[in-house]
Amino acid sequence: MTNRAQIFCAVAGPVGALLFGVGLLGAHFIPPTPPLTSMDDVLTLYRENATGIRLCGIAMFFLLTALMTQYTGLSDQIRQINSPQARTWARVQVTLGGISLVPVYGSGICWELATYRLERAPEITQTLNDMGWFYLVTPVAPALIQMFAAGFGTLADKSATPLFPRWYSYFSFWVGVVLMTGLLVPFFKVGPWAWNGLLSFWVAASTLGLWLNVTGMLMIKVAKRQPAAAMAPPADAGYSSAAYSKSA
């Protein structure tokens, strides 16, 4: 029988990303608000689209939950690879994947908070808007090691029929590097490295979306190849019942 839990994890990320994309459109955050937008224009944006921005924040919370679900499922599949290195990389992948999402929650909270008291001074709304975009695109360092962990973990599979194709490992390396464009956002208000720029937003978002969908499709294939009953936990997953009984 197909591992339905694994398939659920596989589709969670792409579905969450689609939901968030719709939220961004509803909030009029596509294209992103330019950093040089005046305070009055930022305040007008939030006043005229308050409901859409609040719903976008909610959509973001579901996106981050969905991404963590997919990262967990991917880690579980990497741990099936018969290699101690793969199991170590699996833990790194899910841990840093989770850490990379924590600051992004602040993005949705800042956007929602900016709509909470619209009578505020424009400077406060602009600051919350700035914080929202910074939280979304700049804290990308954990994602670099997460993607490398996914790549090294799947590359450790030396079996005749590896769970993941080798090209996926190198694809993950490439995605991790591309996402690092967000680190340059604090230095630019215009151009490709600004938070609304070609590299820091459009290329990075498209690349991550592609990775989520490719990863999801490969995870589904693995789930169909390895039914739930066959996906036994690795030897170091914890104490076995026999070992526990002996120690007791």
**pLDDT reading at 238 higher than 50:** no
Mean pLDDT of 195-218: 97
Is 238 or 208 the better-scoring residue by pLDDT?
208
Half-sphere exposure of 147 (CA within 13 A, CB side): 21
**The token pair that represents 216 in the structure block:** 């999801």
Residue 185's nearest CA partner among 110, 113, 135, 247 is: 135
User: Between these two residues, 142 and 242, which has the higher pLDDT value?
Assistant: 142
Which residue in 99, 98, 34 sits closest to 72, CA to CA?
A: 98
Instruction: Quote helix, strand, coil % in the chain, to nearest 5.
Output: 75, 0, 25
Average pLDDT, integer, range 132-151: 96
Radius of gyration, alpha carbons of the chain: 20
Q: Residue 28 corresponds to which tokens in the numbers above?
A: 């009029």
pLDDT computed for residue 4 by the predictor:
87
Average pLDDT over every residue of 218-245: 60
Q: How many Cα atoms sit within 13 Å of 110 on the Cβ side?
A: 18
Q: N- to C-terminal Cα distance for the chain?
A: 35
Query: How confident is the model at residue 233, as a pLDDT?
Result: 52
Q: How confident is the model at residue 156 (pLDDT cuts 50, 70, 90)?
A: very high
Give CA separation, 28 vs 25, 54, 124, in Å.
Answer: 5, 12, 20
The residue among 241 and 132 whose pLDDT is bigger is 132
Asked if residue 53 has pLDDT above 50, the reply is yes
User: Residue 3's pLDDT band (boundaries 50, 70, 90)?
Assistant: confident
Q: For the chain, what percent of residues have pLDDT higher than 90?
A: 86
Average pLDDT (183-190) is: 96
Over range 3-27, report the average pLDDT.
Answer: 94
pLDDT at 234 over 90: no
Average pLDDT over residues 202-209: 96
pLDDT in tens, 66-88: 999 999 999 999 999 999 999 99
Mean pLDDT value across the chain: 90
- pLDDT above 50 (res 1): no
Which tokens is 183 given? Answer: 């680190």
In this structure, what token pair is assigned to residue 222?
């693995």
> Percentage of the chain with pLDDT > 70?
90
Q: What confidence category does residue 109 fall into, taking pLDDT thresholds of 50, 70 and 90?
A: very high
